Amino acid sequence: MISSMNLKKPETLWLLIILCVAAALRFYDYGAFSYSNDELSALNRLHYNTFSELVQKGFYVDGHPGGIQVFLWQWVRIFGDTEWAVRFPFVIMGILSVWMSYKVARLMFGTAAGLFTAAALTFLQFPLLYSQIARPYGPGVLFGLMLVYFWLRIFFKESGELNTGKPRFQHLTGFALSAALCMYTHYFSFLFALIVGFSGFAVARRNTIFQYIGAALVAALLFVPHIPITLNHLTYKGVGLWLGVPAKSWILEHLIYIFDQSLFILIVFLVTLVTLMYLYRENSTKLRFRLLLATWFLIPILIGYVYSIKVSPVLQHPVLIFSFPYFIMLIFSYAGSEFDKRKRWILTLFLAFGLLGTTMINPYFQKQHFGEFKEIGRLTAKWQLQYGDTAITKVISINSPYYIDYYLQRNHTAAKFELYDVTGNEGLQALSETVRKSNTPYFLYAITKPAPVEGEDIIRSVYPYIIEQENYDGFSSIALYGRTKGESFEKINNLTEIKTIKANLNSDTLISMNDASQGKSHKMDTLAEYSPGIELSFDEFLGKGNLVLIAETDLFSMDNTGESVLVISIETSDGKNIQWKGAVSKYVEVPGNRCHVINTLKIDSDIPKGAKLKVYFWNKDKKVVYLNNLQCRVFSNTKVN
């Protein structure tokens, strides 16, 4: 990669330093953290004996081009499926991307521009993260940079002037192969290759046009075997099934994401850019390259944004990583070519502060970047061994049983889960039935994908104690609940009670339950849609930190109350809802038995002065139901996240 004979040159030594830092960051702990959901999905689609099976079941039905899946199929066969083995080639490609970014920026703007670009790609968390996981994003960045490098060699001289001779065969071949690799890697890297390809017609001349068209046709021919698969993929909604339509501010949010969502990193870039613009006087011949870079960066964003609004949502940060390096090159185009002493000092500070931001100020290696599966598997195995498999009812919300089974096998155990999906009303209904039928002393509940927040309240209605729980930055969580022992929900979550308010119920109706016990309760029927409730000003809780409200009531009915709800509502002084959450009682009811309904609400918005807190039972179906002990407790969350 770098000749030892050139180490005396400052630029060569600096490139070596940058690549060593890039390698250190990417290799650090790369195999220790859990596979992501997407990585496990890819591994789950490798268990085929023949290439034909891999095509039909591995990526024909997936929605992504098959290049990375074919590579993984062969790689895992040879090196195994541990994180260290599977991610290794992706880490290598991430390091090579830093090198290629230097080469591309150097061809366009000179040595200093190349070194600043490579330094930025070294420490920014966006390229770092996708260099550490086995997904198409890291390879796609490398193949895109290779494509642009050969594209530049076809049309331009080392000096940046247009090429007046015929392009070299090796450059045409490199362009064709790089374009094909982009097409086989990801459809957004395919899009990027198309944009770069069409850009060629803006700079092509008679001496290059026909050879260039020939190279493009070779790339297209190499993709022909995949066309039937791509046509099938175009019929899929794909991520549009779960990905939301982007907001008007999405593009701005993406720019913020590029800079690690960190004001510190943004300031580092701005100060460096302003300093370089002062030191470097723009050469007008570089305008062409700046326009190209801006085009390559912006067009994929605009196409993705319009497509997401008009057709199906596809826009998310990772799919724009293929065009991201060219925005960085555009920023550092003002560094120019000469790498003098002043620029060496600026680069030193830029890299040092960038590393400080990545490792300390916005600590990349301490953050949870994806859903957690490894630790959930370990804790499941640990609790089974500690309490006994038959003593725990287990439920997990996960995209495929394979994702948890993979890590259970790594922990030399197996587990039977009663449910693997707790999404939507059907999922909540299935969870409630599982909870009610369970007769074990413990209940395990794990979440690895978005699940209704009501699930925990349903479980706590029967299993009120928590033995142990872990939350992985909101991406995943796991908890072991107990019927008769453990910590209270409030204590284990570090909640400090501020106030308890009880509703004034008319407990004057004598009811007899099928367990031969009797008691007086507040009766609701066809004439009573709303119970007496709680209403007070929210002002007394303002300024007391993060608040959690827990409403509870005991309920008895001879049949299921349908859609009746225990409501917590926070309203403005003129009655407009700020937050509203209801716990549907049917999920915990057992006709003929007293049950406990819980509704937990975390305050996630600013509450204006004059707002009102309301808690009540909404007998939506106007059935006969009996209530006791309707109350609301207000807590301050003292837990430091």
Q: What is the 3-state secondary structure (H, E, C) of 433-489?
A: HHHHHCCCCEEEEEECCCCCCHHHHHHHCCCCEEEEEEEECCCEEEEEEECCCCEEH
Of residues 444, 448, 439, the one with CA closest to residue 417: 444
pLDDT for 97 beyond 50: yes
Residue that wins the pLDDT comparison between 375 and 279: 375
Whole-number Å distance between alpha carbons of 260 and 269: 12
pLDDT for 482 beyond 90: yes
Largest CA distance in the chain: 100
The residue-averaged pLDDT of 466-481 equals 96
Q: In percent, how much of the chain has pLDDT > 70? A: 95
Each residue's pLDDT tens digit, 521-569? 899 988 899 999 999 999 999 888 889 999 999 999 888 777 899 999 9
pLDDT for 231 beyond 60: yes
Each residue's pLDDT tens digit, 185-199? 999 999 999 999 999
CB of 632 closer than 8 Å to CB of 536: no
- Residue 61's pLDDT is 86
The residue-averaged pLDDT of 372-394 equals 97
Q: What is the mean pLDDT of the chain?
A: 92
- Residue 513's pLDDT is 53
Whole-number Å distance between alpha carbons of 559 and 589: 8
Q: In percent, how much of the chain has pLDDT > 90? A: 80
| pTM, two decimal places | 0.92
Three-point CA angle 476, 478, 480, nearest 5°: 170
Strands 495-502 vs 476-482: parallel, antiparallel or unpaired: unpaired
CB of 506 closer than 8 Å to CB of 522: yes
Whole-number Å distance between alpha carbons of 215 and 194: 13
Q: Where are the beta strands (DSSP E) in 473-591?
A: 476-482, 487-488, 495-502, 509-512, 518-524, 534-537, 546-556, 565-571, 577-584
Structural tokens at position 407: 């890590």
